[in-house]
Each structure stands twice: as structure tokens, then as C-alpha cells.
């Protein structure tokens, strides 16, 4: 391979096979669909001549393929950013994303992102759409993400996400006494008046399903396990707001003021008022490995900030007989200065 061009000789046992299928077999890191596009645009030559995807080969031909880098990736720069790598092999990398890290470069966040770090760690990912990223976490949601290291793995993971085969489990500390396990099945789409927000949208929203389980219930808060069946932008955050159990610290879908109550200590009130991000963490991730086809699963612990908050919440008074309720008037309605990373991405 020279100057981003691959040159290969077609083995004789490929005689009679289509050109696109043969090339895909010989360089499996690139999808058949992408190879077909390259053939159509003249980036693939056989014996120095342009061909069609359906053309049959006889064996012994000289193929020249000019690899085309994803256009968007030309604007992304590798940066030596420390990554907390949980697992890595030739196809995928599992990363524990920290709080305050944007996943993908966008207006206002062109550097310091997870993608910038990935491109430094895996330079070849600059050939892939979105640098191999197949889903995302919000800037201030921590936890597990999978990133593909080649196009075949990326397409496989995207299909698994679309067919709901990827297991994604979260932990959330929320306001309110949540009394029973449940499933929220409410479509999510753009907020009708606040552009940077998402909302329950029965007109233009997409199917959105979140399963949640009460792990612990306290006087004023609850600790939940949330599992995504679908993956929409801000899904858990929007669904928890709709459930009248907004996530502690959420600057967009949380409480605009702390509800006064004699049951809250000054320490807890201070901790919840000043908790610097949504108390949401992607704790577990499961998928079918793109190459081995084996089921794999990873799990990590809570980050220190959520551990500390949970300790304070556990110190609350005992659950009252009267249920602690939250009124819709206590929610944020949106902030003009709120900057969220590219909403084109799906997944919480």
C-alpha cells in the first residue's frame, strides 16, 4: 500500500466472481457498499481500466484501489488524550468515558473530545465515518461506550443497535419516591419551541422505550437501574422528567429549584443544588462481537461523584407514609445559553 493506494493481484480461485465481492473479500475492512461507490467513481482500476461492480474476474488481474477517507474526518485532529480503555481487540474498543468529555467534535467543541483521543490512539480510524463511533453519551453522562476499529465492525454494531441487540444499562439518582418498576414507552423528538431540547413528541417523535427498576427508595430520592431498549437523544433524561422523577443535577431536564422540605438536611440540600452534572452513569454494556459472534458484556462501578451523592442520599430520613411528589411547574423549560453536542447523534 503506497500513498493511500492498495495494489493486489487477484488469486486464480476468484475466477468467475464479481469484482465488488472479490475486492470486499480481499480487503474486508471496507464494506461492499463503499467499494461499489469507489468503483462507480473510478477509484478502483483493474489492469489500469475502470470497471463495473458486476464485472466478472478471471484471476491474475492487477487491482489498484485508491482508499477514500471519510470527508468529515479530514477536519478532526488526533490529540493525545488519556482514554480509560476497558477492553480492546482488532475490531472494537470499550471505553469508560469520563464526565465533562464531549464524544464528537462540533461547534464549540472542536478539540478535547473522545473522537480526538480515539484518532490519536487508533490513527486508522480516520478512514471511518465518525471515526468509528456508533453511539454516544452526553457530555456529562459517564460510562461505557463501544467504538469500532474497522468498517465491517462498525456496520455490524450499527445493525445490532438498530435491532436492539446491544444491552445498555445505566444507574440514575432521581428526585421523588419511585414506588414500582415500570417501562416508559413514549416517543421522543425535538422540543416544539426549544431547539436544543428533546421532548415527548407524539407527532414527530420516534419510538423510545426505557425500562427502569427501583434499586433503593429514600425519603426524597430514588436510585434506579435503567435499561435502554431504544436509543434516542437524551432518552433517559426526557423519560425521567416525563415520569416526574427527574435526574438529580440535570441542567436541562431537571428541577429549576430545590423543593423546600424539612426532611432535607442542609448538607444534602447543598449537595443536590450544586451537583455539577446529571447523576447518570452507563454502568453495563453487552453486545455480540462482530468477528467471533460471541456474546460479550462489561460492567464498571459508579464514579466517585455519584458514590458520594448516593451516600448522602442514603442518609436521608426514612420513607414517609405520604408519597413525596414533584409538580411539573418545578421543571426547567429550557435555557438559551445551553450548548449540547450534535443532536444528530442518537443514544443517551
CB 116 within 8 A of CB 78: yes
Is residue 138 annotated as part of the catalytic site, yes or no? yes
Q: 165, 93, 161, 135: which is closest to 344 by C-alpha?
A: 135
Residue with cell 490529540: 79
Helical spans, DSSP H, in 61-150: 114-121
* Rounded Cα gap, residues 194 and 79, in angstroms: 33
User: Nearest 5°: CA angle at 73, between 88 and 128?
Assistant: 45
In the chain, the largest separation of any two C-alpha atoms, in whole Å, equals 83
Calpha distance 290→155 (Å, rounded):
9
C-alpha cell at 256: 429549576
- The candidate with the shortest Cα–Cα distance to 251, out of 272, 282, 223, is 272
Closest by CA to 174, choosing from 264, 309, 295, 333, is: 309
All cell numbers assigned to 209: 422505550
Catalytic pick from 138, 305, 327, 347?
138
The three grid cell numbers given for residue 188, joined into one nine-digit string: 421522543
String of DSSP letters for 215-274: EEE-SSEEEEEEEESS--TTHHHHHHHHTT-PBTT-TTTSBSSPPP-TTS-HHHHHHHHT
Give phi and psi for 310, each to the nearest 5.
-65, -35
Residue 144 backbone dihedrals phi, psi, to 5 degrees: -80, 135
Catalytic residue IDs: 138
Amino acid at each position: 500500500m503506497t500513498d493511500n493506494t492498495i495494489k493486489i493481484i487477484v488469486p486464480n480461485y476468484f475466477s468467475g466472481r464479481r469484482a465488488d465481492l472479490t475486492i470486499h473479500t480481499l480487503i474486508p475492512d471496507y464494506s461492499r457498499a463503499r467499494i461499489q461507490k469507489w468503483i462507480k467513481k473510478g477509484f478502483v482500476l483493474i489492469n489500469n481500466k475502470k470497471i463495473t461492480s458486476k464485472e466478472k474476474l478471471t484471476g491474475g488481474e492487477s487491482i489498484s484501489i485508491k482508499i477514500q477517507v471519510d470527508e468529515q474526518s479530514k477536519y478532526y485532529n488526533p490529540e493525545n488524550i488519556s482514554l480509560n480503555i476497558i477492553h480492546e481487540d482488532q475490531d472494537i474498543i470499550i471505553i469508560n468515558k469520563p464526565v465533562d468529555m464531549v464524544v464528537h467534535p462540533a461547534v464549540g467543541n472542536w478539540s478535547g473530545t473522545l473522537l480526538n483521543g480515539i484518532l490519536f490512539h487508533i490513527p486508522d480510524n480516520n478512514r471511518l465515518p465518525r471515526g468509528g463511533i456508533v453511539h454516544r453519551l452526553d457530555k456529562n453522562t459517564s460510562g461505557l461506550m463501544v467504538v469500532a476499529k474497522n468498517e465491517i465492525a462498525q456496520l455490524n454494531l450499527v445493525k445490532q443497535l438498530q435491532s436492539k441487540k446491544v444491552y445498555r444499562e445505566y444507574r440514575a439518582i432521581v428526585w421523588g419516591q419511585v414506588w414500582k418498576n415500570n417501562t416508559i414507552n413514549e416517543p421522543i423528538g425535538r422540543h416544539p419551541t426549544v431547539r436544543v431540547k428533546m421532548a415527548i413528541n407524539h407527532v414527530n417523535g420516534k419510538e423510545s422505550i426505557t425500562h427502569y427498576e427501583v434499586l433503593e427508595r429514600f425519603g426524597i430520592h430514588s436510585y434506579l437501574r435503567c435499561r435502554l431498549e431504544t436509543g434516542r437523544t437524551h432518552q433517559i433524561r426526557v423519560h425521567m422528567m416525563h415520569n416526574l422523577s427527574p435526574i438529580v443535577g440535570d441542567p436541562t431536564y431537571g428541577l429549576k429549584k430545590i423543593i423546600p422540605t424539612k426532611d432535607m438536611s442542609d448538607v444534602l440540600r447543598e449537595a443536590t443544588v450544586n451537583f455539577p452534572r446529571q447523576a447518570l452513569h452507563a454502568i453495563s454494556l453487552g453486545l455480540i462481537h462482530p468477528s467471533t459472534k460471541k456474546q460479550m458484556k462489561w460492567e464498571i462501578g459508579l464514579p466517585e461523584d455519584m458514590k458520594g451523592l448516593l451516600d448522602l442520599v442514603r442518609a436521608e430520613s426514612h420513607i414517609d407514609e405520604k408519597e413525596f411528589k414533584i409538580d411539573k411547574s418545578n421543571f426547567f423549560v429550557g435555557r438559551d445559553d445551553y450548548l449540547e453536542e450534535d443532536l444528530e447523534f442518537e443514544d443517551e
